[in-house]
Structure 1
Amino acid sequence: MPNLPDVVLWSIPAFVLLTVVEVVSYRFHPDEDAAGYETKDAATSIGMGLGSLVFDFAWKIPIVAIYTAVYELTPLRIPVLWWTVPLMLLGQDFFYYWSHRGHHVIRILWACHVVHHSSRRFNLSTALRQPWTSLTVWPFYVPMIALGVHPAALAFCSSANLVYQFWVHTERIDKLPRPFEFLLNTPSHHRVHHASQGGYLDRNFGGILIVWDRLFRSFTVETVRPVFGLTKNIDTYNPLRVATHEYAAIARDVRAAGSWRERAGRVFRGPGWQPGPRPAGVPAAAPETVAEHVA
């Protein structure tokens, strides 16, 4: 297959330039309502992003092996042509929607994705706050490989999707003209996704397109100004704790569980799931073990 460019690598200069422009814009045109930048928070986001590059490289080894095995087993082949690449991008965006939604409604997957929502700021540096345990993502894209999409083509599409989402992490862009807001994931839609208000929770999962949310009834329009972060925020800038705090919370809840049903629920149910009334004599879990959860 033809060589495809490393979209993320080529986009790094743009990431840096746009972030600097946004920082300068807050200095010269502050917004009392916008969260803006805070040095420790931005440093943590950048550190999480750099760390994710290292860990993602390690995770790629088993993932590429699995994808290659599936690709060799399937008789189907989709060539990389000028007209098939847009279809691959569309397919990847569809499966991204379900991966993203799954990582919000299954707690063990949320433990990976919560990293990206752990900042109380919403700016371009927040886009770089990526998890270090992204090994949970690969199963959602197996159907594409089984349909004959080469693993390298899938990697290209995933990178393009990731790069697109960089610019939607900002409060400096208001709502766009209606056609863009109807079809695409925009800063307005993504602000809803990162908000912690109850009416905004678990909404607007789209990567490039917002039409999946409209089709599958997970769309909400931005009305009141979002409050960013988790419903129970973590007060730390330590990258290791940011990366692992929800896994630690799951472990505490599993240890405190009174039955195997509750243990399974603590791992595989939603992040805010609570068991029913316990039998007499069985102690309840400590309040601090309740999962943090955001949109």
Structure 2
Amino acid sequence: MSSFPDVAVWSIPAFVLLTVVEIISVRLHPGEEDAGYEVKDAATSVSMGLGSLFFSFLWKFQDVAVYSVVYELTPLRVPLLWWTFPLMLIAQDFLGYWSHRSHHVIRILWACHVVHHSSRKFNLTTALRQPWMTFTVGFFFLPMVAAGVHPVVLAFCSSVNLVYQFWIHTERIDKMPRWFEFVFNTPSHHRVHHASQGSYLDRNFGGVLIVWDRLFGTFVAETERPVYGLTKNIRTYNPLKVASHEYVAIAKDIKMAGSWSERAGRVFRGPGWRPQDRTSVSVASVTKEPAA
């Protein structure tokens, strides 16, 4: 099967144009006092995005190798037809929901995804603040390959999903029509996802569709204005530290752990987990409360 275009890469000019429009909008109509842009924060987000292009290219070798083996072993094949392609987009979004949710509730996965939540601002450059260590993401989509979806088609579906999520990183859009808010992920829903308030934590994991959150009990509507960032913010604009800080914190906590069960808990339990019989924790590691 011939290669599909990388929708995310081809969309970069649109990303730049929309960001410029948003910046102009913020300048003309500032809104909340802490809304909008901060130069260092936006620069860090763009730097993380550029870095993710490089590292994503490296991790693709891993994904291509695994996907190719699974695709050759499965006897199933899903043809690319006008009616199967929308179903594949929905399937990819469904698996993306569980990938996203898992990356919030398992600490070693959160160490990757925390990068995207580390900004205390919420604007279109926040969408570009992508992790570099995405080697944990691809495995969640193996069921599609095992069901006979060609890896190239899966990559295209993932790219479409990622591009959709760019525009929902804004405070410039309030609410969409009710029917749209019920079915699709929107800026309002995604603002909740990026918030650090207790009632908003670990909610609204959907990529394109918000119906998964409604079905699996993780949906919360936006009521109060979100406070963005982490429950314990890292206060750095250094891209290397932003990309690696939680991995470093995990290593410190493993070193301080008093037993193998605690070491396992530091890696595989929730991001805010701590053993009941120990009170000493690495301050840097508590970037999020335990998942609800």
Range class of TM-score, shorter chain: over 0.9
* Matched AA of 2:104: H
- Offset at residue 240 of structure 1 (A): 0.2
- 1:42-92, CA deviations, whole angstroms, 9 ceiling, x for partnerless residues? 000000000000001011112100000000000000111111110100000
Partner of 2:82: 82
Q: How does 1:1-295 map to 2 (within 5 A)?
A: 1=1, 3-33=3-33, 35-278=35-278, 284-293=279-288
CA deviations 1:133-169 (Å, max 9, x no partner) are: 0000011101000000000000000000000000000
| SS of alignment partner, residue 57 of structure 2 | helix
Q: Which amino acid aligns with 1:129?
A: R
Displacement of 1:286 in angstroms is 4.2
> SS in structure 1 opposite 2:266?
helix
Distance 1:207 1:6 in 2: 18
Measured in 2, the distance between the counterparts of 1:169 and 1:256 equals 38
Greater alpha carbon shift after TM alignment, 135-144 vs 96-105: 135-144
* Range that drifts further, 181-190 or 25-34: 25-34
Letter in 1 for 2:143: P
Matched-pair contact (CA < 8 Å) for 2:246–2:285: no
Gaps of 5+ in 1: 279-283
Amino acid of the structure 1 residue aligned with 2:23: V
Query: Partners in 1 of 2:186 and 2:80 — Cα distance?
Result: 28
Aligned position for 1:281: none
Deviation at 1:4, TM superposition (A): 2.4
State whether residues 2 and 80 of structure 1, in contact with CA within 8 Å, keep that contact through their aligned partners in structure 2.
no
Q: Which runs of 4+ in 1 moved over 2 A?
A: 1-5, 284-287
TM-score by length of 2: 0.97
Name the Cα RMSD after superposition. 1.2
2-side partners of 1:87 and 1:288: how far apart?
44
d(CA) in 1 for partners of 2:270, 2:246: 13
Percentage identity across paired residues of the two chains:
72
* 1:180 alignment partner AA: F
TM-score (normalised: structure 1): 0.96
- SS of the residue 1:161 aligns to: helix
Amino acid at match of 2:122: F
AA aligned to 2:113 is H
